[in-house]
Structure 1
Amino acid sequence: MRASRRPSPRTSPRRLLPSPASRPVPRRVSALAVLLAGLLAVVSCTSGGTGEAPPSALEASARAVDLESGWTWEQQPGPMELGVTHTQNSLDDTEPAAARQRGSEILSSLGQEYQNHHLMGFGTLNPEPSPGQFDWGSLDRRMQLTEETGGKAMLTLCCGPDWMKGGPPGVTDWEKLERQIKPEFFDDYANLAREAVQRYPQVDRVLVWNELKGFYHQDENRWDYEGYTDLYNQVYRAVKSVRPDIQVGGPYVVMSSVPPDSPDASEIRGPWGALDRRPLDVLEYWLAHNVGADFITVDGSTTNRGQQDAISPVDVGAQKFAVIDQWIRERTPLPIWWAEFYANVPADAQAGYDSPASAVSTLAVIGAMARSGSQGALLWGPEGSDSLEYSSLWSPATEEDGGRPTPLTDAWRWLVPRLREGTVEIGRAQGSTLGAFRAEDGSMLMVNLSEDPVPVPGQQPIPGWAVIPVDSSG
């Protein structure tokens, strides 16, 4: 039985606060399943896949695959930036020092990728508890982390102080974090955004709000895109008035999909379902009425709203991201950024930060985005968490033995500089479940997009959920 995809808001500023619209509640598994998944992840991290074979044998199998016969290849149409969004726990000074150091080394090894932070919530405290009284301490620490690890800073202008929602000054009720700023306080929020971008000159890109939190007309079964666009326009003008160089984007709407027979289904369909018409309406309105934008930002998952299990092989559901990119490109030349993306796994696969299946599913989404011309994608939560079962880049640094690589780490590290160059080819075998990323330098990243082993003549089979980096030698 799958859990509901509408979790209630969390109370603590350090809690993850998953959005009801886009972040499914993780499936419950037995203690034995968790133990087996952990053992599998250790094997994967040391062998390059789920690995029954040592790295040399797996790499030999990957090299023996004929990448031309029965394969289709698409050239990446342009550069694509990969980055991360820091959330509740993310290498904070409250974490064990050794685990934090290990995680910091992983983050540093990724090079100059974007690190996104929220103005309030998801690891940062209230920046303006009372009108005109600012508290930047927690966001200062997150910005310092980006500087220490060599990243580029990005800021999501969400969420807002309680007094801007009609609450009393000086009080922060984290249960109300996802409530909408009241229209009479839009100018106050725009001023807060202005203060933030002046305080952090290292920020060169901002996202306005997050998933239209609070902007919904329940009685009309649609998003309040008029209200959101009003807020966006006021924030845009305020930010540009002091930082005309900064890149500003929106509307950060969840591009949900639904079963084709849903009353909310659009005519845009695929084997993964049908796009929900309501976020399409948001984009249409915002594109027609915003006062300016430097990029467009959206988020989504590989499964339909209310569902948890992915289709196998996992690149089938990932194609939804390419379809959405195409729909957007038909309406605007603005660069497309995926502020969040969630890659689910099939029902019989284990999900989680230490899961090879989750790593492969994430890579399948990255492949779809890269083929369709996305300019950027942010991984939600680079630090692993048991409360959100998707791939991360290091294990929970809240634990003494945390901060360790995950099955996604090496692959992400391989992709970051190459996708940024814009020269990667993305390939897919027609007669098996293999896929690959191929770089100009001759190196390659091969993945098995399902749990089924793929035989290779004269070599070890490529295991299910394998991720195999292949260097340019040989």
Structure 2
Amino acid sequence: MIVAGAVVLGVGLLFVLWSAPGGGQRDAKGPARERAAGPAVGWGFTHTQFSADRGADAAVERVARVLAGQPMAQNQHLMGWGAGNPEPSPGRYDFDDLDRRMALIRRTGGTPVLTLCCAPDWMKGGTPGRTDWSQLEKAPEPDHYPDFAALAGKIARRYPEIRHFVVWNEFKGFFDDAKGRWDAEDYTRLYNLVYQELKKVNAHNQVGGPYLVMDSYVPGDGRYPSALKGTWGHVDQRTLDAFAYWNRHKAGADFVVVDGSSYSKDDRYAPDVFTAARKFAEVGRWLRRTSGLPLWWAEWYVEVADERGGRRGWSERERVAAQATALIEMAEGGAAGGFYWNPEGDGKGQGGKDCPGCLWSSTESADGGRELPMWTLLARFSRAFPPDAHPREMATGSDDILGLSDGRTALLVNTADRPGSVRVGGKERVVDGYGVRWVSLAE
């Protein structure tokens, strides 16, 4: 994951004149009125530090139209990644940034998801009234777990349109250095308090965890071996142990959520960039079988970041083909949805119109806010394969061309740099090198 660093607190451009979430009642006392669980989540993206709620007016308006043209799930964090400290000191709240992000989601018709991370400084040993962003990823102290749960409940009352909540992010601050393993016991205590508080606010709220990173090692690497393995390598046994503890001791869950990459912990692909994505399918099937719950990928990566946190020298065609391959494998593994990380750059360097892997060009420029190839793929995938579609991987008869279909629509991806063809729906279909092609099976 890209570390948040300091959060930009500028108000930027508000999309709507908006005095209070949820129809004008701020933080109504008592449990929210019973409501259905709301729309299914499906495929979408996570807002990070730079997103479409701020920037040049023309660019902000332009990307708002793009988002409204294909509404999908939009995930936002409680603190960090574009949101300031929501409770700088006990009982003193600042929701300006969350209000602004929620206004964007509401205006563009997105399905809101809130990731409940991270915690105000006073909950983790810091000074009340101060925010040290270098300590963002520190977990709350156990004595403050109830305070964090209470904050989650207050947020749920403030934004009753949020029906889906993810508890914490990547076990941040929950690694036990002395024991060399994840502290699943403390995480699960925090999770259970948050789960119970959110269900108390509204029994229909959907809550999930544990948001572990499914780290893996390539074949032949003897570190932390496990039985969850494939041609891509094996998942770190410590991760599986932490998942097993949470799964046994959780107070309840409506979905399981994890993140991961096709490459290994030390940034290697096995056996190659495209085949390594099979990890998403095989890990996904294991998670579904083990938990019996719907599966979300909170973050998913196919491209190793360089030493500056940027992207490698892939062509955009190869990049989109690799991302499409990952989407196919996640769907084949039974995932009900997932969130693409980091939709926009900072407007500097590669953060402008040529931002590799971004969803739209930076809104910091008046000419920004224009959809990029990854948005085109994600929007079409979200529209073609909603949560109830249950697409399955197709046998194309080609070693290079992968396929996914729900019986109505097929997605074809050529993992080779040369054109190829397959027979789909009774017709020969040509797919360019590193090409992504959509086929209506009614043709």
Q: TM-score, normalised by structure 1?
A: 0.77
Q: Does 2:290 match 1:331?
A: yes
Q: 1:419-460: CA deviations, max 9, x gaps? A: 11415443253434112334544x543221233443789x99
Contact 2:217 2:233 in 1 (8 A): yes
Tell me what 2:18 maps to. Answer: none
CA contact (8 A) 1:352 1:358 kept: no
Asked if the contact 2:303–2:312 (Cα under 8 Å) also holds between the matched residues in 1, the reply is yes
Q: State the secondary structure of the residue aligned to 1:202.
A: coil
Matched, 1:412 2:344: no
Q: Which amino acid aligns with 2:215?
A: S
Deviations 1:28-67 (A, max 9, x none): xxxxxxxxxxxxxxxxxxxxxxxxxxxxxxxxxxxxxxxx
1:278 offset after TM fit, Å? 1.1
1:114 equivalent in alignment to 2:73: yes
Aligned partner (choices 389, 394, 414) of residue 448 of structure 1: 414
Alignment of 1:248-397 (within 5 A): 248-260=207-219, 261-307=221-267, 311-312=271-272, 314=274, 316-344=275-303, 351=312, 355-384=316-345, 386=350, 391-397=357-363
* Higher relative contact order structure (alpha carbons within 8 Å, sequence separation ≥ 6): 1
**Is the 1:411–1:469 contact (alpha carbons within 8 Å) kept by the matching residues of 2?**
no
* Offset, 1:461: 6.9
1:13 paired to 2:13: no
Q: Report the residue type matching 1:270 in the other structure.
A: G
Answering whether residue 202 of structure 2 is matched by residue 208 of structure 1, we say: no
Task: Tell me the SS of whatever aligns to 1:293.
Answer: coil
Whether the 8 Å CA contact 1:80–1:373 is kept in 2: the answer is no
Per the normalisation by structure 2, the TM-score is: 0.82
Partner residue, 2:45: 84
In structure 1, the partner of 2:401 is 434
Q: Aligned partners of 1:367 and 1:309: how far apart in 2?
A: 18
Q: Does 1:137 align with 2:96?
A: yes
Shift of 1:368: 1.0
Cross-structure match for 1:36: none
Question: How much does 1:80 deviate?
Answer: 7.9
Which whole-Å CA distance do the structure 2 matches of 1:428 and 1:408 have between them? 25
Aligned to 1:219, the other structure's residue is in SS state coil
Q: 1:390: how far off?
A: 6.4
* Preserved CA contact (<8 Å) 1:248 1:293: yes
User: What SS does the aligned partner of 1:445 have?
Assistant: strand
Partner Cα distance (1:319, 1:80) in 2: 23
Which stretches in structure 2 are left out of the alignment for 5+ residues? 10-39
* Change beyond 3 A, Cα 1:444–1:282: same
The 3-state SS of whatever aligns with 1:278 is helix
Bigger Cα displacement from structure 2, 126-135 vs 377-386 = 377-386
Count of residue correspondences: 398
Find the aligned partners of 1:425 and 1:322 in 2 and give their Cα distance. 11
TM superposition shift of 1:10: 5.0
Deviations 1:251-278 (A, max 9, x none): 1100110134232121322121111111
**1:77-110 Cα deviation digits (max 9, x unpaired):** xx981011111111122x1122222222221122
